[in-house]
Amino acid sequence: MLKPALRDKRTAAPANWQDVAHGTWLQSQVEQVLAPHIERLYGYHFAAVGPLSAHLSLPKSAIKHCFTLAEGHGKHVNVCAESTQLPFAEASLDAILLACELEFAQDPHQVLREVSHSLIADGKLIYVGFNPFAWHQVQQLWPRQVNQLPWRGRSFTRARVLDWLALLNFEVCETHYFAPSFLQQRWQWPERLATKAHQWLPQLASCYFIVARKREYPLTLLPERSKRKRVQPNLQTVPLANQTQLKE
């Protein structure tokens, strides 16, 4: 039975990628995977939500106004706010990036609802999440690793996140697993094993990403056209000159 996504207590999120195990390498993998998708974005406003999203070095896109949002202050943060209470008007953003934000949010459902509220119709969401079935999850067997990052957060399966997005009328454009690793730089032989096994078992990679488009359907019902056409008699009047009169 699945545990509810809502938590009783809040989990401290990482302030940057260096707080995560093997974070520098993991950050480079995320940047490499997201680069072609960021370049294809278009519109007017693009928000990178979360501290990990704010510290990503992403290529320039066609969207001119790109900014970062996180709860804490810092040189990489342009807007200080919580992901569960985005300070944007409805349908005001063209694209949103969420990098490992649901894992540390107290209410992941509320985060996605805020994202759906802020995106315009056909706006894009790019989400990156930690895989709960990854190779690095074996480190949870050590008690000292439980309180470390990323094991301190709660990872959600890709299928579960896809279900949440489907309920919010998101259409999935692309999704893949990437970055196979035990997140231990010292384990050279297991790291090589995870890399070679990725082509046969991609579901054991450390992360996955989802590119989804927000869809909206009109609520105004169009009147149904009547299939039956009114039959109108095609009456033609006969000129008086052509009329024949009976003679007595």
Q: What is the pLDDT of residues 151-202, one digit of tens each?
A: 888 899 999 999 999 999 999 999 999 999 988 877 677 788 888 889 899 9
pLDDT of residue 242: 58
Question: With contact defined as beta carbons under 8 Å apart, do 164 and 109 qualify?
Answer: yes
How confident is the model over 216-227, as pLDDT tens digits?
A: 876 666 666 555
Give the percent of the chain with pLDDT over 90. 60
Q: Between residues 204 and 146, which one has the greater pLDDT? A: 204
Partnered with residue 96 across adjacent β-strands are 47, 125
Question: With contact defined as beta carbons under 8 Å apart, do 168 and 117 qualify?
Answer: no
Question: What average pLDDT does the segment 211-216 reach?
Answer: 95
Find the helix or strand (DSSP H, E) in which 80 lies: strand 79-80
Question: With contact defined as beta carbons under 8 Å apart, do 122 and 91 qualify?
Answer: no
pLDDT of residue 151: 83
Gap between the Cα atoms of 203 and 219, Å rounded: 39
Gap between the Cα atoms of 58 and 32, Å rounded: 9
How confident is the model over 46-92, as pLDDT tens digits?
A: 999 999 999 999 888 889 899 999 998 788 899 999 999 999 999 99
Tokens 């939500």, residue located:
49
What is the chain's mean pLDDT, rounded?
Answer: 87
- Return all residues near 33 (Cβ < 8 A) that are at least 6 apart: 176, 178, 179, 209
Q: Which two tokens stand for residue 75?
A: 């040189």
Instruction: Spell out the domain ranges in the chain.
Output: 17-216
Domain 17-216 indexed as CATH 3.40.50.150: yes
pLDDT of residue 69: 96
Give the percent of the chain with pLDDT over 70. 84
Half-sphere exposure of 157 (CA within 13 A, CB side): 7
User: Hey, what's the torsion of the CAs at 154, 155, 157, 158, to 10 degrees?
Assistant: 130
Residue 235 pLDDT > 60: no
pLDDT of residue 222: 61
